[in-house]
Every structure is written in C-alpha cells, then in structure tokens.
Amino acid sequence: MVLPFPYGLIIGIGGSFAFSWYWLKKSPQNPSSLTSYKRTDPITDKEKEQNKEKEQNKEAYRILKKRYLEGEISREDYDRLRKDFDIDEPGTPTV
C-alpha cells in the first residue's frame, strides 16, 4: 500500500506561518506589549529630561527679561522671579 504525499498538510502549515507572519507585521503594536519592548537607558533619559528642563528655564527666563525690559514688571518682581531660574547669564539687565 502506497501512502500519498501529504501536500495538504504542507500547504496548511505554510499558510499558517504566512498568516502568523503577516498578522504580526501588519497589526497595530500595543506599546505595553512584550513584542514591542524597547530598552531604554535611565541615565540618558534623565539627561534628556534635564536638558529639556534647562531649555524650558532658558525660554521662561528670556520671557521674564523681555517683560522687564518692556516695563511690564518692576525691578523687584524681576529680581524675585529671576532667583527661581538658577541661570547666571552675562547679559542680565542691570539698572
């Protein structure tokens, strides 16, 4: 007795692999999924956060200087608010 070659089984297994591969590649990734895990460096992330905070402080300080120079706030208010920024720039306005 000769058994026929199982072409249907091979096609079924191949189709299952193709479908699984397509599903994994095309489905939207869940950010909390283990398959989309991205290793992060806590030191680098902390430095990025500090740099972002410094840039925000510089921008806020620039706005403070502009408001002082345009006369919107008094010298006392300017001095009081400037202490919050911890920025010692050589171009600080003096009166």
Average pLDDT of 77-93?
71
pLDDT digits (tens, 9 = 90+) for 6-53: 888 888 899 998 988 887 777 666 656 666 666 666 677 778 888 888
More confident residue, 91 or 49: 49
More confident residue, 88 or 60: 60
Q: Which pLDDT belongs to residue 70?
A: 93
The residue type of 84 is: D
Ordered alpha helix ranges (H), 1-95: 7-26, 42-69, 75-82
pTM for the whole structure: 0.44
Q: How buried is 5 (Cβ within 10 angstroms: 0-12 exposed, 13-18 middle, 19+ buried)?
A: exposed
Structural domain spans, the chain: 48-86
